[in-house]
Chains A and B, each alone.
Chain A
Amino acid sequence: MTAIELKNINKDYGTGISKVQVLSDVSFKAHSGELSLVLGPSGSGKSTFLTIAGGLQRPTSGQVLIDGQDISRFSEKQRDEIRLNQIGFVLQSYNLLSYLSVADQFALVDRVHKGNLSPDRLEKLLQELGIDQLVNKFPDELSGGQNQRVAIARALYTDPAIILADEPTAALDSERVKVVGRLMKERAKQYDKAVVVVTHDLRLKDFADRIYQIMDGKMTEQPLNA
């Protein structure tokens, strides 16, 4: 099932002679239960792709469809709600607040959801990710890998249909890359999530169900064994 679809996306920055086209006629589908890898070098447009897919900015033209609705036409408040309820972000910088313990990172999300999130689900998630013993620790007391697992758990906590990850392995060694890659693939399969990872880290190719390449703003699907 298609969880998110981008149709004929174009994105320009600037106007006139300073106009730069960052994405050119990009079309993309991410399916539930699959991990889609979007590869590309720095400046290729992959972060712009992710921010448009996540409703953080609007495309110049084209559609971003979630549940059949074009979220690129939504108001800022509506896009906030989509991000809060249907999209989980995992960012390069782990997106954890330094002054919140691991437990409080989840408490914050629960509070924003007005206490509607399941504590059992959280407990299970923490156990599965092997961070259930770290709940009283602060981010600066955790390793890079542990921080990334907390960030993934937080993204999954709200049970979103789509997980968008931006360079989630940027600061990790090869062993940790495998752990994070395996984790994300398992989450996609086990919980039927559409996981989209944008990265230039080729070590993640082993975990992908689909691989896309962005180069100079154009996206192409690559064969898995290329």
Chain B
Amino acid sequence: MFLAIKEIRHEKLRYGLIIGMIVLIGYLMFMLMGMMLGLANENTAAIDSWDAKSVVLNKNSNISLSQSLIAKQDLPNLNGHQALVGQTPAVIERAKGATDKQTIQFVGLDSSQFIYQKKMKLSSGHKPHGKNQVVLDEGLKSKGYLLGDQITLNGSTQKYRVVGFAKDAKLNIASIVYGSLTTWQTLKGTGDQFATSGIFSDQKQTVKNKNLKQYSIGTFIDKLPGYAAQNMTFEFMIAFLMVISLIVITVFLYILTMQKIPNYAVLRAQGIPAAYLIGATIGQAVILMVSGTLGALLLMIVSKAAMPSLVPMLINWPLTGILSLALVVLGVAGSLLPVRMISRIDPLDAMR
């Protein structure tokens, strides 16, 4: 490390530029990952907050909650681990004042079941009591919705009072409005013929009805419209970026080491072992990669703080840690190419 640190301290501009490049590559990767996770979270935040393990849907729904309808006669006997969820897209609008319409996902719940009782986390207000009260995603506060506001759904004359704001109330990148199953039936236009869109449970469920089918939550989430394609796109972007950054960093380290060969040849001529010089080169790669990665993390944190709330971005520290480690490890692995070159340095070059 002695040679590595001394050289970096002496050649501040050169190594500053290299660290700057690593910072930018790392920053781009962290931001992409943050946005991927942010978007993914807005797809599934509500489902994640329910801690569900399985869902029962109409078998012809193509694993889509909004396409699923479960008739009353098909409804099994429910236990304490199951909850009915009636979901439909809708448009909300304040009954008075500014008319900022918002497309939302309406989720009707049964107040006696576990999602309503245990999983709905409010940031303010209280849970809806009765069919004319609703709880809104807290993100809708930024659109001007307040506690006590009267809203309408899909332009109907029926008014609903906003009695609370909920955390993690996002589904399919849209805000959720929690209300009753009766309201869901009204919005869906099904009357009381259909009881729900799906049955969520925090356990595996047994389905005996031939019209229904159980799915794991993983399968259900993967079939959310656009979810898998969007995530895979981001994952490929990050993977390509990792590969490209590895090549760029390797090329930089290779060129740097090439420039040092005359010096290293002199040191080899003096009997300084190749292993010492290899250690210095790998040490230098570690310092550059760790410094660059830390810089990228810092830049990401600052960017997240400065970013408008409209941009979905989520920092997942365990994943960020893994990505940081991968960046450092791959960068250091890139330094193994110049290491081969050092091990082959001919001390005779010092005399030429």
Contacts and interface: CB of A to CB of B under 8 A. Distances in A.
A166 B351 contact: yes
B74 interface: no
Contact of B350 (A91, A100, A112): A91
B271 A82 contact: yes
A82 B273 CA distance: 11
B270 A84 contact: yes
Nearest to A138: B10
Interface residues of B, number: 22
B11 A108 contact: no
Interface stretch (A16-24, A32-40, A46-54, A200-208): A46-54
Nearest to B1: A111
Interface residues of A, number: 31
Contacts of B95: none
Contact of B2 (A57, A111, A138): A111
A51 B351 contact: yes
- Dominant secondary structure at the B interface: helix
B263 interface: yes
A180 B10 CA distance: 29
Interface in A74-109: 77, 80-85, 87-89, 91, 93, 95, 97-100, 104, 107-109
Interface string A41-71: 0000001001100101100000000000000
Nearest to B260: A97
Given A54-B269, A84-B272, A85-B271, A91 B351 contact: yes
A98 B266 CA distance: 12
A98 B347 CA distance: 18
Contact of B351 (A47, A81, A97): A47
Nearest to A96: B266
Contact of B271 (A51, A87, A98, A107): A87
A67 to B, nearest CB: 16
B3 interface: yes
A57 B348 CA distance: 7
A166 B351 CA distance: 8
14 contacts: A54-B269, A56-B350, A56-B351, A80-B268, A89-B350, A91-B266, A91-B350, A95-B269, A95-B270, A97-B3, A97-B267, A99-B6, A100-B10, A108-B272
Interface of B: 2-3, 6-7, 9-11, 262-263, 266-273, 276, 347-348, 350-351
